[in-house]
Chain A
Amino acid sequence: MPMLHTVNKSPFERRTLDTALRHAVKGAAILLIEDGVYAAFDGTVVAEKVKAALADHKIYVLGPDVAARGMSEHHVIEGIGVVDYGGFVDLVTEYDKVQSWL
């Protein structure tokens, strides 16, 4: 399995999501954690870009970090998987390497 890329900063604050998407090869997965979860919500100015990325990448978002920001799963773009910390661990072990974009 290719690489898992984690993104922990909001796309409205940093460019790390763009960087991760630029470097991620087809089949690589993106996991949005901490403020990175803002990229997972529908109706934002980055939502179309994220939806387009779903064609080449599986995208996941950390559920507890969504809830911590007062949002819920039905705000999340369709096609993005919601995982808990156990799911985070599973992704880390399923993919060959982890690149943490900070």
Chain B
Amino acid sequence: MKLSVLVNEGPYQHQSADSAIQFTKAALERGHEIFRVFFYHDGVNNGTRFAVPPQDDRNITQEWTALAKEHGLDLVVCIAAAQRRGILDENEAKRQGKDGNNIADGFRISGLGQLIEAGIQSDRMVIFGD
């Protein structure tokens, strides 16, 4: 089945960022297709490669990056939510006159249309957040 996941909560906040990745892994293990994972609101903070959690703690962003690499996942960060929170890719950094970008490998910045499309194209949409 074709599934999409919406992540509305940042990493290390409560538990939803963890739940989302565990659910996604289990869905892939079950042989389902993950059409898209969309990061919205504080969820966009899952997409910065500048976070450095303690070495004995899980690194949620790196887990997403690894999962995206292994399964070709489409990890989309909402552009408006990202700009408010300082999540930038190379193009956005240039466009906004910022001195660097921090988007993690495997993530891309795009618009809410991508969320709507995921809702239309997927058989199920599962939401994680506060």
Please report whether the interface of chain A is mostly helix, strand, loop or mixed according to DSSP: helix
Convert B1-33 into 0s and 1s, putting 1 for each residue whose CB lies closer than 8 angstroms to a CB of A. Answer: 101000010000011100100110111011010
Task: Tell me the number of A-to-B contacts counted with CB atoms below 8 Å.
Answer: 53
Q: Which residue of A lies closest to B127 (CB)?
A: A100
| CB-defined contacts of B130 to chain A, threshold 8 Å | 102
Q: From B123, which residue of chain A is reached at the shortest CB distance?
A: A93
B16 / chain A contacts, CB cutoff of 8 Å: 8, 34
Which 9 A-B residue pairs are closest in the complex by CB-CB distance?
A85-B26, A100-B127, A34-B15, A89-B27, A89-B26, A86-B26, A93-B1, A89-B30, A85-B22
Kindly provide the distance from the CB of B34 to the nearest chain A CB, expressed in whole angstroms: 11
Q: Is the interface of B mostly helix, strand, loop or mixed?
A: mixed
State the B residues within 8 Å of A (CB). 1, 3, 8, 14-16, 19, 22-23, 25-27, 29-30, 32, 123-130
Residues of chain B within 8 A (CB-CB) of A15 are none
Q: How far is the CB of B13 from chain A (nearest CB, A)?
A: 11
Q: Which residues of B contact A35 (CB under 8 A)?
A: 14-15
**Residue contact B129 to A90, C-beta cutoff 8 Å:** no
A29 at the interface (CB under 8 A from B): no
Whether B30 contacts A33 by the Cβ 8 Å rule is: no
Residues of A contacting B26 in the complex (Cβ-Cβ under 8 angstroms): 84-86, 88-89
Q: How far is the CA of A89 from the CA of B124 in the complex (A)?
A: 10
Q: Chain B residues near A102: list those with CB within 8 A.
A: 8, 127, 129-130
Chain B contacts for A93, CB-based, 8 A: 1, 3, 32, 123-124
The answer to whether A88 touches B23, judged by C-beta atoms less than 8 angstroms apart, is yes
Task: List, in ascending order, chain A residues with CB within 8 A of B128's CB.
Answer: 8, 100
| Chain B CB within 10 Å, residue with most, of A8, A34, A86 | A8
Residue contacts A-B, CB under 8 angstroms, 28 given? A6-B126, A8-B15, A8-B19, A33-B19, A34-B14, A34-B15, A35-B14, A84-B26, A85-B26, A86-B26, A86-B29, A86-B30, A88-B23, A88-B26, A89-B30, A89-B32, A92-B27, A92-B124, A92-B126, A93-B3, A93-B123, A93-B124, A98-B124, A98-B127, A100-B126, A100-B129, A102-B8, A102-B130
